[in-house]
Structure 1
Amino acid sequence: MNIAKIEAIPFAIPYRKPLKFASGEVHTAEHVLVRVHTDDGLTGMAEAPPRPYTYGETQESIVAVIDKIFAPQILGLSPLEREVVHARLDRTVGNPTAKAALDMALWDILGQAAGVPVSGLLGGYTDRMRVSHMVGFAPAGQMVAEAERIRDVHGISTFKVKVGRRPYTNDVDACRALREALGPQVELYIDGNRGWTASESARALREMADLGLTFAEELCPADDVLGRRWLVRQSPVPFIADESATQAAEVTRELLGGSATAISIKTARTGFTASQRVLHQCEGLGVEMVMGNQIDGQIGTLCAVAFGGAHRSTARRAGELSNFLDMTDDLLTEPLSIEDGTLRIREGAGLGIDIDPDKLARYRQDA
């Protein structure tokens, strides 16, 4: 069984409303469907969601690097030769989501070939995960209304609140309004997407000290080395590294340098193979993890829940698995459903990705 063909198919699906946060905003999910075909008829799939303001990738660059650079280097290899695949992909710097999608598609093939779910191959800890929901920039009243709707409709009780606006007091007021409306039983944590300075972050955390925040994530820029260390030393809540820890070496730097005390794992940028390396590294250091989200669609969410539910360490916390709710449509034949605050892993061999051909034809950008 060898890799015979690779497709990188750009597609675009509008969001119900703009998603706004400190590093930018998005109006349309301009993603790439990656399909890896073998010579014996199996097809593995994954989704690559570009985030140009974070990783420098665009939809066009993902398609180009897969078609022109990656595919010629791995065609003919066996899906079992994952280390050879990664050795060849890593000759090219960057391009994390393109590499991740290829990796996850290969795992999908292996699960199908073995007749077992990928989550079982990865670890098989649980068949579902609790879900957290991202609340983006808006007036405080709108943020509260969205969180209440998501709680009432989907049973979600953990919310990741986007902060990083200036003045920072706008976000402090929004977080306070969310806590007052949702009550003490709901988990709240904040994500600044590098929007504040270290001193602004410290002031905001002091003013929110009574809100019982679970985590704070990437409040100030990753290259503010001394400022981040100063901030983390005084932070009253665990500090998650996300954009600053996109690979195992960066995880080492952030944790041992004192710039973070927890790590966000995103399968959209590290696939399954590199995500396991990060996870085992964190376990060895006694560091907490959360399953993050690249504003994935339903395909990417299937991948994230398969990995998160496979491991005890990532299944402890609610995973960021609900961003697809903000999309007007998706490509799956059978849409995902969040019920009682949880998302189940798909049963069956592989990742359980079944693409609706009519929807793909409607949304693809290369036809």
Structure 2
Amino acid sequence: MKITRVESIPFSIPYLKPLHFASGEVHAAEHVLVRVHTDDGVIGVAEAPPRPYTYGETQRGIVAVIEDVFAEQLHGLTLLEREQVGARLARTVGNPTAKSAIDMALWDALGKTLGQPVSELLGGYTDRMRVSHMLGFDDPAKMVAEAQKVRERHGISTFKVKVGRRPAELDIAVVRALREHFGDSVELYIDGNRGWTAAESARAMKEMADLDLLFAEELCPADDVLGRRWLVGKLDIPFIADESVPTPADVTREILAGSATAINIKTARTGFTQSRRVHHLAEGLGLEMVMGNQIDGQIGTACALAFGAAFEATSRYAGELSNFLDMSDDLLAEPLQIRDGCLQTSSRAGLGIDIDPDKLDRYRTDK
């Protein structure tokens, strides 16, 4: 079970349409496929989605740090030495998605070696998760139409609505249109990606008080310490910390500061090992948890699904597991299928996914 090689393969797959939100926009999935090889011939895989406007990583930066720094540090360690792996990766500041992809590829390889699904190794609470769908910036009629199409095709009934535009009335109109169209047959929550001020957030939430929102996420910047605490104190629904809590220490600071009351766990930025620490901390503090999405492809979605289904708390709410529907293609030999609003975990060893070599050859950008 010794690590013999760590690969980082950049690839690019266009989106069917650009995704717009307060902190940026994405036109293509310019991600990195990470593969960990062992001396037993096992290969673990994961996906690193760079988000330069959130964590400062780029596709080229992820490839470089893995090839120039991490690969050599991990050579010769076993798949069971996860704490040693984490300690060596931690010597390098930042690079959360590069580190997380390596961690998840190790877990995939371990599951394959032991003949067990990763979700079972992590906790094995359930074999499925309800799916929520993210709606990016657009006019109300188009966003309602997209939600209706997704519901009809995939049975999804929870929608995360991107907000944070100025004026806030643009987003309030969208959320109201969704509620008026679907009534109480769907769950709605909003994500500001830190786009509003605390005062703008408070006014917008007051305007939407009758819309029965499930959560509000990262409406204003975390570095507005007093404003954020003031805002959270005014809300009567959970306020989710996302970009502001990439580590367990950040979770502790945000909660003790009164700046959040719920946590978004994203395996793309904390892998499985650190996500488990975040989960246990949040569970001990009595926080609500949702499984988030870093605009992952199907590989990353399989990772988020495996973790979310492993625990009761992370499977309680619909997880953000549908962003891959916006991609024109993907790398998996057998695509994930959302049925009746749910994704089911694989019973196969590891993550239970296989990379299609022809698709990888078509979309990789390092040839």
User: Is this a same-fold pair by TM over 0.5?
Assistant: yes
Give the deviation of 1:40 after TM superposition.
Answer: 1.2
The CA distance in 2 between the partners of 1:195 and 1:297, in whole Å, is 25
- Superposed, which structure 2 residues align to 1:331-350 within 5 Å? 331-350=331-350
Question: Does residue 1:142 correspond to 2:142, yes or no?
Answer: yes
Give the deviation of 1:73 after TM superposition.
Answer: 0.6
Equivalence for 2:112: 112
Give the deviation of 1:222 after TM superposition.
Answer: 1.3
Equivalence for 1:128: 128
Give the deviation of 1:183 after TM superposition.
Answer: 1.2
**Runs of 5+ consecutive residues of structure 2 not aligned to the other structure:** none
Equivalence for 2:222: 222
| 8 Å CA contact retained: 1:191, 1:219 | yes
Instruction: Name the aligned partner's letter for residue 67 of structure 1.
Output: E
SS of equivalent to 1:202:
helix
Equivalence for 1:302: 302
Give the deviation of 1:26 after TM superposition.
Answer: 0.3
The CA distance in 1 between the partners of 2:250 and 2:195, in whole Å, is 20
Equivalence for 1:170: 170
Give the deviation of 1:182 after TM superposition.
Answer: 1.2
Instruction: Name the aligned partner's letter for residue 258 of structure 2.
Output: G
Give the deviation of 1:4 after TM superposition.
Answer: 0.3
- Superposed, which structure 2 residues align to 1:280-359 within 5 Å? 280-359=280-359
SS of equivalent to 2:88:
helix
Give the deviation of 1:185 after TM superposition.
Answer: 2.1
Give the deviation of 1:236 after TM superposition.
Answer: 2.1
Identity %: 73
Equivalence for 2:250: 250
SS of equivalent to 1:51:
coil
SS of equivalent to 1:211:
coil
Instruction: Name the aligned partner's letter for residue 60 of structure 2.
Output: E
Give the deviation of 1:230 after TM superposition.
Answer: 0.3
The CA distance in 1 between the partners of 2:334 and 2:164, in whole Å, is 36
Equivalence for 1:86: 86
| 8 Å CA contact retained: 1:209, 1:236 | no
Instruction: Name the aligned partner's letter for residue 110 of structure 2.
Output: L
The CA distance in 1 between the partners of 2:123 and 2:183, in whole Å, is 35
Equivalence for 1:189: 189
The CA distance in 1 between the partners of 2:210 and 2:113, in whole Å, is 52
The CA distance in 1 between the partners of 2:59 and 2:127, in whole Å, is 32
SS of equivalent to 2:184:
coil
1:270-321 Cα shifts (integer Å, max 9, x gaps) = 0000000000001101001000000000000000000000101101000000
The CA distance in 2 between the partners of 1:317 and 1:195, in whole Å, is 24
Equivalence for 1:180: 180
Instruction: Name the aligned partner's letter for residue 233 of structure 1.
Output: G
SS of equivalent to 1:183:
helix
Q: Runs of 4+ in structure 1 displaced over 2 angstroms?
A: none
Give the deviation of 1:335 after TM superposition.
Answer: 0.4
SS of equivalent to 1:164:
coil
| 8 Å CA contact retained: 1:346, 1:352 | yes
SS of equivalent to 1:290:
strand
TM-score with structure 1 setting the length:
1.00
Equivalence for 1:26: 26
Question: Does residue 1:274 correspond to 2:274, yes or no?
Answer: yes
Equivalence for 1:152: 152
SS of equivalent to 2:200:
helix
The CA distance in 1 between the partners of 2:145 and 2:267, in whole Å, is 30
Instruction: Name the aligned partner's letter for residue 147 of structure 1.
Output: A
